[in-house]
Amino acid sequence: MDILTQLFVNFIDLSTEASPWLLLGLIIAGLMKAWVPTQILTHHLGEGKLAIIKASLIGAPLPLCSCGVIPVATELRRSGASVPATSSFLVATPETGVDSVSVSYALLGPVLAIYRPITAIISAIITGLIVATSKVEHVAKKTVNSCCSSQATETPSVNKSSCCANKPVEKTPSIINKTLNGLRYAATQLIDDLIIWLLIGLLFATLVRTFIPESFLLSYGSGLPAMLLMIAISIPMYICATASTPIAAGLILAGLSPGTALVFMMAGPATNISTLGVIKNELGASVLWRYLIGIGACAIAFGLLLDWGLKFYAIDFTEQMQHSHELLPFWFSLSCAAIIGLLAIKRVRALLINNS
């Protein structure tokens, strides 16, 4: 088999392995987008340690990638969320999600599919607690521009013609329309947010599987130096949790330890130039350094713990990866890959959605 054929075969194999679980994650993410009110997020992310825990638990399953979480976190902060809770949300949300967990199961097996979201939540809590030690003003500025907000302080007996009285009552979307809007979001904006890096990740994993022998990185593919190098590589990158998964799979196939690959999957999505710039501007430089320290320390600690646990319990990680790939028939996986491919092409997607 020549090189081009081998590249094509490996790319198709990786794409079909990931696509069913990615499609499932997109559907779940769309339903969450439709049915989880944003007011709930703002209400529960105030001051205190409990808010930090809530922020990590709320953010972990949300369908937001590294850059998608920035406007949400900014609005949360300006709506009253504390700095530590906002930081915790910024860590947990891009590090994991329903889509990345399902793809993790497809490409990396059940161990990391379970371990990864747990580490994301714990690292978000720890980072939030570290940020809480900074001497920053934790009270967000609230801007009131509407006459409706001040109406409650007026005497009830006074009958005034206000913007609130004249404001038309908006119709509540039906259950079907609300659900369809969520699925439309998943099939458009969410795919647009991750498809480029997902494709890059699949191409990277294909090149690794084709050209790099598994023993290449074995001598220096694990341990603290390798993890520090992985953090240095991850911090400036923009990559979402889902797209980082096939890259991690390629690294593991090349001989990198699962713990070192986990460092990449934790640090990469939670840090990029855009996120770091927003943190500095909105939360301050002292928060930024604590944010980076929290993410880096947690990623290395959980990476070392994963490698130790796999060795201690004699778990064959390669066998774990292969086992998860054989659950679904090839024709079904290929169909899912075709659906995602069509949705990723905006003109084709527009025809499909408009005709549906």
Q: 254-264, pLDDT tens digit by residue?
A: 888 999 999 99
Predicted pLDDT at 24: 80
63 lies in a domain?
yes
Predicted pLDDT at 266: 95
Does position 310 have pLDDT exceeding 80, yes or no? yes
Q: Which domain, by its residues, includes 309?
A: 3-140+173-355
Rg (CA), the chain: 22
pLDDT band at 150 (very low <50, low <70, confident <90, very high): very low
Predicted pLDDT at 38: 65
Predicted pLDDT at 166: 54
> Residue 298 is encoded by which pair of tokens?
């947690």
298 lies in a domain?
yes
| Mean pLDDT within 49-60 | 92
pTM of the full structure: 0.72
Predicted pLDDT at 53: 94
Helix axes 175-185, 3-35, angle to 10 degrees: 150
3 state DSSP class of 168: coil
113 lies in a domain?
yes
| Mean pLDDT within 42-71 | 81
154 lies in a domain?
no
User: How far is 333 from 338, CA to CA, in rounded Å?
Assistant: 9
pLDDT band at 217 (very low <50, low <70, confident <90, very high): low
User: How far is 343 from 356, CA to CA, in rounded Å?
Assistant: 13
Among candidate residues 343, 261, 351, 274, the one with its CA nearest the CA of residue 306: 261
Number of domains in the chain: 1
Predicted pLDDT at 169: 53
Token pair 């130096």: residue:
225
Distance, CA of 306 to chain centre: 20
Predicted pLDDT at 148: 42
User: How far is 4 from 191, CA to CA, in rounded Å?
Assistant: 28
pLDDT band at 138 (very low <50, low <70, confident <90, very high): very low
Name which residue leads in pLDDT, 318 or 329.
329
Predicted pLDDT at 286: 94
> Residue 351 is encoded by which pair of tokens?
């025809």
Question: CB neighbours of 50 closer than 8 A, spacing ≥ 6?
Answer: none
pLDDT band at 75 (very low <50, low <70, confident <90, very high): confident
Among candidate residues 79, 52, 87, the one with its CA nearest the CA of residue 140: 79
pLDDT band at 27 (very low <50, low <70, confident <90, very high): confident
Predicted pLDDT at 85: 94
pLDDT band at 67 (very low <50, low <70, confident <90, very high): low
Lowest mean pLDDT among 12-26, 111-125, 177-191, 277-291: 12-26
Does position 162 have pLDDT exceeding 50, yes or no? no
19 lies in a domain?
yes
pLDDT band at 218 (very low <50, low <70, confident <90, very high): low
150 lies in a domain?
no
Contact 61, 98 (CB under 8 A): yes
Lowest mean pLDDT among 59-73, 78-92, 121-135, 141-155: 141-155
Contact 154, 337 (CB under 8 A): no
- Cα 335 to Cα 19, 28, 352: the distances in Å are 9, 19, 16
Does position 97 have pLDDT exceeding 70, yes or no? yes
111 lies in a domain?
yes
Q: Nearest 10 degrees: CA dihedral of 25, 194, 354, 182? A: 40
157 lies in a domain?
no
